[in-house]
Structure 1
Amino acid sequence: MRAALGAVALVGLAVLVGVVYEQAGRYRAARDFPPPGQMVDVGGRRIQLDCRGTGSPTVVFESGQGPDGSLSWSAVQPKVAAHTRACAYSRAGLMWSDPSSAPSSARQVAQDLHDALARAGERGPFVMVGQSIGGPYVVSFTHYFGAEVAGLVLVDPSHPDQVARVAGYMTESRSLLSRVVMGLGWSGLVRLAAPRLLPQAPNQTAHDVQAVRAFAPTSFRTELAEGDATDRTLAEAGAFRDLGDRPLAVLTAMAPYTAGELRGMKITPGQGKEVQALWKQMHDDITHWSTRGTHRLLPNAGHDIQFDDPGAVVDAVLSVVERVRAAGAAASAAVPKNSP
């Protein structure tokens, strides 16, 4: 009995130490890594929004599924902001942004972003840029607020039919272990493991990766909720596949899957090539959602193109910006000078 009580006491002490360690870590995160840009009130909670540069159209960056939030675009945004207004933000519950009590959905993400932009005084026309699941998010934003969207750039975007298309090769699911780890943000374990869970990406600064790790215990909880809502998000975005004549650029990562990625997907190298062929086909389909779509394959970039080949993303964004500007100039020139 004494041994059992001793074990319980040790466990209780370990939990207490972990909780104290986590709370101290959250204090240091807020102190050492203040939010870039501003915190915008969207009705009782705040969204972090970082807008830089001047000019029109305004480029709006939407991150993929992960804990990085606005920092997902740190290698791209400054170069775009040298040419036009550029805004990156963190979805509710990621990095500095307050969590939302509403279930994760494409419509909720679009509404939050629209509210944050409007309350910060940012006005369209917008060029929406989305990576991975951020692709369906910005397509949904276009669905709900289309009058403000002049063009899109989709960076290795998720496709509404991707789950069904790759079902013969793998099942998209999160392991029980990863779900348990992500759910233990309060215990200090995630913070302790963050350096291993979140390695530094190419073209990512040490400061940024440290900031992402500092907020990982709370960001991971949101990432898990967004992952659980993936099917609903894809279905919602897939109901809208007509982008009209808006300029659209689609970028596809075609670097061969690494050994670690193949193990994670539980497929062979040969199957990996087949999955990539399907991925290209799906992106070909997305390109035709607009009558002015272009598609570029990047043979040396992995899924996070914004880190692996940020120059390609910058070029795609600026090409859409120039096409939007040219269309605007042509429309202005077509209006008679003496018209009432």
Structure 2
Amino acid sequence: MKLILKILKWIGKILAGFIIILLMSGLCFRLFSSKPVPPGKLVDVNGTKLHIRAEGQKNDFPTLILESGAGNDTDVFHWIAEGLKKNMRVVRYDREGKWFSESSKDSITPEFYARQLHSLLEKNGEKPPYILIGHSMGGPYNRIFRDLYPNEVNGMVFLDSSHPEQWKRLAENGLFEKSQISLIKTLAVLSDMGLMGVYNSINNPKSMDEDLPKECQNRKHNLTTYSGKVYRRYLKENNINNAILSRASQASNLDSLPVLVFTAKKQYGDPEKWFEMQKELKNLSTKGKHFYIDANHGSIITKKENAEKIYREILLMTESID
């Protein structure tokens, strides 16, 4: 019995020592790691600093506004922006609380983000007309913007975009399942403690955006390990998702607005139901065009050859707009 107690005591000391080393490693990571630097600039909009990247010369073409999905950053549009900024003005940004943007203290309503983006564009000296380009949940956000400011939008592009009825028709619960939410909360805590940074420094995990340049991969990697902010913003996006989709459903008529819909052929859920909803996005306008790309939901924009197909069609649409 004494031997067993002695063994348990030594195991306890070893575990305690391991935990102390782990916590000290995380603390050192937080103290000595550099805060990630945004690739764009921060613009104050009603007390909230929003990250914006505006490239290309202002000319007679409409300005392109790139709206990312629920969890993505501005770098996912790298190849599309690179292909278009030589011809026109291209704007990317992070919604409040996402990636390099500060969290807003204002009350969040379904129309809040469209109005905040409108203010951001004005503060940065951007002027309409705009072409709105949205990937995934970026599509519904853009539908709300167009509904509020119809005279400022000359065209819309949906990139494997979300549909207001997608969760019901795909029989899914939303952006994240309960088990995923628990995992995200845990990752947020581990990142705040510096432990995610320590883990990634040792293991150097493979990037999910391997089709993007290394600089873009590293920027996302650094920000997700620096603190738990990115993970907590995922949870906020999950909480407001249904309200955003519901408000977007009210923007059900785009009249004769030029519209391009790009759909990824490789889908995780029921592809036929997804393709049906994508066709409905095209039919929002009498001038809608639909394209299928051999890609999944992410690589439709992060893979260079897919982005090239997309920005060539955007150029053609832009040139055809009076």
TM-score where L is the length of structure 1: 0.80
The residue that corresponds to 2:296 in the other structure is: 302
CA-based RMSD: 2.5
In terms of mean alpha carbon deviation, does 74-83 or 35-44 score higher?
A: 35-44
Query: Which amino acid counterpart does residue 59 of structure 1 have in structure 2?
Result: L
Q: CA deviation at 1:291?
A: 1.7
Of the candidates 223, 242, 245, which is equivalent to residue 215 of structure 1?
223
- Alpha-carbon separation, structure 2, partners of 1:285 and 1:245: 15
Where does 1:307-322 land on structure 2 (aligned, <5 Å)?
307-308=302-303, 309-322=306-319
Corresponding position: 1:52 with 2:55 = yes
Structure 1 pair 243/77, CA: closer, same or farther in 2 (3 Å)? same
Corresponding position: 1:70 with 2:74 = yes
Query: Which amino acid counterpart does residue 201 of structure 1 have in structure 2?
Result: E
- Alpha-carbon separation, structure 1, partners of 2:31 and 2:143: 38
Q: CA deviation at 1:196?
A: 3.3
Post-superposition Cα deviations, 1:39-64, rounded to whole Å, max 9, x if no partner, equal 11112221111111122200010111
In terms of mean alpha carbon deviation, does 88-97 or 208-217 score higher?
A: 88-97
The residue that corresponds to 2:166 in the other structure is: 162
Where does 1:1-340 land on structure 2 (aligned, <5 Å)?
11=19, 14-25=22-33, 27=34, 29-30=35-36, 34-54=37-57, 55=59, 56-67=61-72, 69-102=73-106, 105-167=109-171, 170-172=172-174, 173-174=176-177, 175=180, 176-192=182-198, 196=205, 198-202=207-211, 204-216=212-224, 217=227, 218-255=229-266, 257=267, 272=269, 275-298=270-293, 300-304=294-298, 305-308=300-303, 309-324=306-321, 327=322
The runs of 5 or more residues in structure 1 that have no matched partner are 262-271, 328-340
- Alpha-carbon separation, structure 2, partners of 1:107 and 1:43: 16
In terms of mean alpha carbon deviation, does 76-85 or 155-164 score higher?
A: 76-85
Post-superposition Cα deviations, 1:194-223, rounded to whole Å, max 9, x if no partner, equal 553743332x00011001111114222212
Structure 1 pair 196/6, CA: closer, same or farther in 2 (3 Å)? closer
The runs of 5 or more residues in structure 2 that have no matched partner are 1-7
- Alpha-carbon separation, structure 2, partners of 1:105 and 1:215: 27
- Alpha-carbon separation, structure 1, partners of 2:79 and 2:199: 25
- Alpha-carbon separation, structure 2, partners of 1:323 and 1:7: 68
TM-score where L is the length of structure 2: 0.84
Q: CA deviation at 1:92?
A: 1.7
In terms of mean alpha carbon deviation, does 131-140 or 3-12 score higher?
A: 3-12
How many residue pairs match? The answer is: 299
Q: Is the 8 A contact 1:153 1:316 kept in 2?
A: no
Query: Which amino acid counterpart does residue 280 of structure 2 have in structure 1?
Result: D
Query: Which amino acid counterpart does residue 139 of structure 2 have in structure 1?
Result: G
Q: CA deviation at 1:251?
A: 0.6
Q: CA deviation at 1:179?
A: 3.4
Identity among equivalent positions (%) equals: 24
- Alpha-carbon separation, structure 1, partners of 2:91 and 2:273: 32
Q: CA deviation at 1:82?
A: 1.1
Post-superposition Cα deviations, 1:249-287, rounded to whole Å, max 9, x if no partner, equal 0110003x5xxx5xxxxxxxxxx5xx1111110011111
- Alpha-carbon separation, structure 1, partners of 2:264 and 2:189: 31
Structure 1 pair 146/22, CA: closer, same or farther in 2 (3 Å)? farther
* SS of equivalent residue, structure 2 residue 111: helix
* SS of equivalent residue, structure 1 residue 76: helix
- Alpha-carbon separation, structure 2, partners of 1:9 and 1:144: 58
Post-superposition Cα deviations, 1:153-210, rounded to whole Å, max 9, x if no partner, equal 010000000000011xx444332223322343311233345553743332x0001100
In terms of mean alpha carbon deviation, does 152-161 or 300-309 score higher?
A: 300-309
Query: Which amino acid counterpart does residue 188 of structure 1 have in structure 2?
Result: G
Q: CA deviation at 1:5?
A: 9.0
Structure 1 pair 223/24, CA: closer, same or farther in 2 (3 Å)? farther
